Each structure stands twice: as structure tokens, then as C-alpha cells.
Amino acid sequence: MNDRELLGLAKEARKRAYAPYSGFFVGAALLCADGSIYTGCNVENASYGAAICAERNAISTAVADGKREFEAIAIAAEGKGCVYPCGICLQVMNEFSKEMRVICQDQERFQSFSLGELLPKGFDEL
């Protein structure tokens, strides 16, 4: 699975997003170390704090299926410029894979970052 294919799966997941409040639809595709892939989309709620991001949706589904080792995650959203994961999502990624690649779309191109580039001082257990 290459980065472009993973981003394609994230774009498909974006179509299933539930975003009646913001109108900002996001999809994510997570590549596990064993080659399995999990997708997620953002799911909003009238109580804004109860919303879940696409990235955490994909990670939670993978964890519920027993996966703990992740290689890459692709994020797809409409808009200008690269759409990066929020701080909460970055911290959740940090919990499982400090070396994960994060692939973001930028119009028709995509960019790839290491998790460390996006979250250089992630919180670790005490």
C-alpha cells in the first residue's frame, strides 16, 4: 500500500463523515504494521466536545480489533492547503507509534511527515 493509495482510502472514508455543524468532512486511513487498514471519518455532535475526529475514529477501531502497531495514517479533507491532525489526535497517535508517517493532502498533491515533526514534544507516561 503506497501513500497515494492510502490517501485514496481516506478520501472514500471522508464521504461517510457526519458533519452537520461545521460542514467540514474528514476521512482517515490507518495502515497497521501487519498491513491491515482501518478507516474512519469525523462524527460531530451537537455537544461539540463529544465530536470525534476521523483519525481517532480509525485508531479506535483498529485498537478495538486488537491492533497496536501503526505505520502510517492518511488524512483527507476539502480545503486549501494541507489539513493536519489536531493536537488530541497527534497525542493519540503518539501513544501507539512515535515513528508513524502522517500523510496529508494539499490540493491534488500530498505531503508526508513523521509524527515527531508534527508533535516534537509529545506527552509520554510518567
Q: Return the minimum-mean-pLDDT range out of 1-5, 84-88, 98-102, 120-124.
A: 120-124
Known binder of ligand: residue 32?
no
Instruction: Please report whether residue 55 resides in a domain.
Output: yes
Beginning with the edge strand found earlier in the chain, give each strand of the sheet holding 37-41 in spatial order: 37-41, 26-32, 70-77, 101-106, 109-114
In a domain, 51, yes or no: yes
Q: Is the pLDDT of residue 126 over 60?
A: no
Q: Which residues are catalytic?
A: 55
State yes or no: 99 annotated in a binding site: no
Query: Does residue 33 lie within any of the structural domains?
Result: yes
Number of domains composing the chain = 1
Amino acid at 35: G
Q: What is the CATH number of the domain that holds 112?
A: 3.40.140.10
Residue 125 within any structural domain of the chain: no
Alpha carbon distance 13, 26 (integer Å) = 8
The reply to whether 104 falls in a domain is yes
Q: 498491513: which residue's cell?
A: 35
Residue 114 covered by a domain = yes
**Would you say residue 95 lies in a domain?**
yes
Q: 32-36, 79-83, 84-88, 111-115 — which is least confidently predicted?
A: 79-83
Residue range of the domain that includes 23? 3-118
Ligand-binding annotation for 94, yes or no, is no
Span 6-65, pLDDT tens digits: 999 999 999 999 999 999 999 999 999 999 999 999 999 999 889 999 999 999 999 999
Dihedral sign for Cα 122, 92, 110, 36, please: positive
Say if CB 30 and CB 101 are below 8 A apart. no
